Amino acid sequence: MDRLDVIYTRFISTSRQEVTIETLLPFGSLDESVSGTDEGTNTHYEFQPSAESILEEVVPTSFKAKLFKCFLDSAVSEQVARMIAMKGATESAGDMIKQLSMTYNRARQSQITGEIMEIIGGVEALEG
Protein backbone atom coordinates (compact mmCIF):
# COMPACT_ATOMS: atom_id res chain seq x y z
CA MET A 1 0.00 0.00 0.00
CA ASP A 2 1.58 3.26 -1.15
CA ARG A 3 -0.93 5.71 0.21
CA LEU A 4 -3.88 6.01 2.58
CA ASP A 5 -6.58 8.59 1.88
CA VAL A 6 -9.56 9.29 4.13
CA ILE A 7 -12.78 10.83 2.85
CA TYR A 8 -14.86 12.47 5.56
CA THR A 9 -17.22 15.36 6.22
CA ARG A 10 -15.17 18.24 7.63
CA PHE A 11 -16.94 20.54 10.05
CA ILE A 12 -16.44 24.21 9.22
CA SER A 13 -19.41 25.88 10.91
CA THR A 14 -22.99 25.01 11.83
CA SER A 15 -24.14 26.14 8.42
CA ARG A 16 -21.27 24.63 6.44
CA GLN A 17 -19.69 21.21 6.27
CA GLU A 18 -17.77 19.91 3.28
CA VAL A 19 -16.56 16.56 2.03
CA THR A 20 -12.78 16.38 2.33
CA ILE A 21 -10.18 13.95 1.06
CA GLU A 22 -7.08 13.89 3.26
CA THR A 23 -3.95 11.83 2.77
CA LEU A 24 -2.95 10.22 6.07
CA LEU A 25 -0.06 8.15 4.77
CA PRO A 26 2.59 8.79 3.63
CA PHE A 27 3.39 11.83 5.73
CA GLY A 28 4.93 14.84 3.99
CA SER A 29 8.70 14.69 3.83
CA LEU A 30 10.92 16.84 6.02
CA ASP A 31 11.87 18.96 2.99
CA GLU A 32 8.21 19.92 2.41
CA SER A 33 7.50 20.83 6.01
CA VAL A 34 10.63 22.88 6.75
CA SER A 35 10.46 26.32 5.23
CA GLY A 36 12.87 29.21 5.20
CA THR A 37 16.03 27.13 4.78
CA ASP A 38 18.62 28.06 2.19
CA GLU A 39 18.78 25.66 -0.71
CA GLY A 40 22.60 25.62 -0.65
CA THR A 41 22.96 24.63 3.02
CA ASN A 42 23.00 21.02 4.07
CA THR A 43 21.44 20.77 7.54
CA HIS A 44 22.02 17.76 9.77
CA TYR A 45 19.88 16.94 12.78
CA GLU A 46 20.88 14.87 15.78
CA PHE A 47 18.23 12.93 17.64
CA GLN A 48 18.39 11.67 21.20
CA PRO A 49 17.29 8.79 21.35
CA SER A 50 17.76 7.55 17.81
CA ALA A 51 15.64 8.82 14.93
CA GLU A 52 14.27 5.32 14.35
CA SER A 53 12.97 4.97 17.90
CA ILE A 54 11.39 8.41 17.73
CA LEU A 55 9.72 7.59 14.42
CA GLU A 56 8.45 4.28 15.80
CA GLU A 57 6.51 6.21 18.41
CA VAL A 58 5.70 9.50 16.65
CA VAL A 59 4.41 8.11 13.35
CA PRO A 60 1.73 5.81 14.84
CA THR A 61 0.69 8.47 17.35
CA SER A 62 0.44 11.14 14.67
CA PHE A 63 -1.51 8.78 12.41
CA LYS A 64 -3.95 7.93 15.22
CA ALA A 65 -4.40 11.61 16.05
CA LYS A 66 -5.13 12.54 12.42
CA LEU A 67 -7.57 9.64 12.04
CA PHE A 68 -9.29 10.55 15.32
CA LYS A 69 -9.65 14.16 14.10
CA CYS A 70 -11.36 12.86 10.95
CA PHE A 71 -13.76 10.79 13.07
CA LEU A 72 -14.53 13.75 15.33
CA ASP A 73 -15.17 16.10 12.40
CA SER A 74 -17.54 13.56 10.85
CA ALA A 75 -19.38 13.02 14.14
CA VAL A 76 -19.76 16.76 14.75
CA SER A 77 -20.99 17.31 11.18
CA GLU A 78 -23.57 14.56 11.59
CA GLN A 79 -24.83 15.93 14.90
CA VAL A 80 -25.09 19.45 13.48
CA ALA A 81 -27.02 18.15 10.45
CA ARG A 82 -29.39 16.29 12.79
CA MET A 83 -29.82 19.37 14.97
CA ILE A 84 -30.68 21.55 11.97
CA ALA A 85 -33.10 18.93 10.60
CA MET A 86 -34.83 18.63 13.97
CA LYS A 87 -35.09 22.40 14.30
CA GLY A 88 -36.69 22.58 10.85
CA ALA A 89 -39.10 19.76 11.72
CA THR A 90 -40.02 21.43 15.01
CA GLU A 91 -40.72 24.75 13.30
CA SER A 92 -42.83 23.03 10.63
CA ALA A 93 -44.79 21.15 13.30
CA GLY A 94 -45.38 24.42 15.18
CA ASP A 95 -46.69 26.09 12.03
CA MET A 96 -48.94 23.11 11.35
CA ILE A 97 -50.31 23.19 14.91
CA LYS A 98 -51.12 26.90 14.58
CA GLN A 99 -52.90 26.35 11.26
CA LEU A 100 -54.90 23.36 12.54
CA SER A 101 -55.83 25.21 15.73
CA MET A 102 -57.11 28.16 13.72
CA THR A 103 -59.15 25.86 11.44
CA TYR A 104 -60.57 24.00 14.45
CA ASN A 105 -61.45 27.27 16.26
CA ARG A 106 -63.22 28.64 13.15
CA ALA A 107 -65.24 25.44 12.77
CA ARG A 108 -66.14 25.47 16.48
CA GLN A 109 -67.12 29.14 16.34
CA SER A 110 -69.23 28.49 13.26
CA GLN A 111 -71.01 25.64 15.03
CA ILE A 112 -71.63 27.78 18.15
CA THR A 113 -72.94 30.64 15.98
CA GLY A 114 -75.30 28.19 14.22
CA GLU A 115 -76.61 26.88 17.55
CA ILE A 116 -77.17 30.44 18.82
CA MET A 117 -79.06 31.28 15.62
CA GLU A 118 -81.29 28.19 16.11
CA ILE A 119 -82.00 29.19 19.72
CA ILE A 120 -82.84 32.75 18.67
CA GLY A 121 -85.04 31.43 15.85
CA GLY A 122 -86.82 29.09 18.26
CA VAL A 123 -87.42 31.90 20.78
CA GLU A 124 -88.84 34.16 18.03
CA ALA A 125 -91.10 31.33 16.81
CA LEU A 126 -92.49 30.85 20.33
CA GLU A 127 -93.09 34.57 20.78
CA GLY A 128 -94.68 35.06 17.42
Residue spans of the domains in the chain: they are 4-24+57-127
Say if residues 104 and 37 touch (Cβ distance below 8 Å): no
Sign of the alpha-carbon torsion through 54, 20, 13, 69: negative
106 or 54, which is more confident: 106
pLDDT category of residue 34 using cuts at 50, 70 and 90? very low
Report the pLDDT value the prediction gives residue 15, as an integer from 0 to 100: 87
- Full 3-state SS string of 6-33: EEEEEEEECCEEEEEEEEEECCCCHHHH
Contacts (Cβ under 8 Å, ≥6 apart) of 81: 17
Look at residues 17, 124, 5 and name the one whose alpha carbon lies nearest to residue 75: 17
DSSP state of 39: T
**Helix or strand or coil: residue 4?**
strand
What percent of the chain stands above pLDDT 90? 61
Tell me, yes or no, if the pTM score tops 0.85. Answer: no
What is the pLDDT confidence band of residue 26, given thresholds at 50, 70 and 90?
Answer: confident
Report DSSP state, residue 36. S
